[in-house]
Amino acid sequence: MTLYQFNILSFNKKQAVVWKEGDFIRNMPSNKSKLEYLSLYGINKFYVELVYNTRTNKIVDVNSFKEGKSLEKYFPDINTTI
């Protein structure tokens, strides 16, 4: 699956792909809200971030990317530029 193919999926199908094909990389608290936690997964040649709300016990957002600030926040001490 490519990043483009992933991006055109519905919210629920994106989650299903992450559970089936994604390799868990790291969790971290969100800087935006104390109620949110972020989980990073790798799928083929791109990354997916699941935003989890601890109050509602649900995933509230799915973000996908290949590089940049979205990835760098998980590894602040490592240069992630390819």
Residue boundaries of the structural domains of the chain: 3-72
Q: Please, what is the average pLDDT of the chain?
A: 90
pLDDT of 80 strictly over 60? no
pTM of the model: 0.86
pLDDT score, position 73:
82
Distance CA 8, CA 5 (A): 6
Distance CA 82, CA 75 (A): 14
H or E, element range at 7: helix 3-7
pLDDT score, position 44:
92
Per-residue pLDDT tens digits for 17-55:
999 999 999 999 988 888 899 999 999 999 999 999 999
Pick the CATH number of 3-72 from 1.10.287, 3.10.450, 1.10.246, 2.40.440: 3.10.450
Distance CA 49, CA 47 (A): 7
Percent of all residues in the chain with a pLDDT value above 70, rounded to a whole number: 93
- For residues 31 and 74, is the Cβ–Cβ distance under 8 A? no
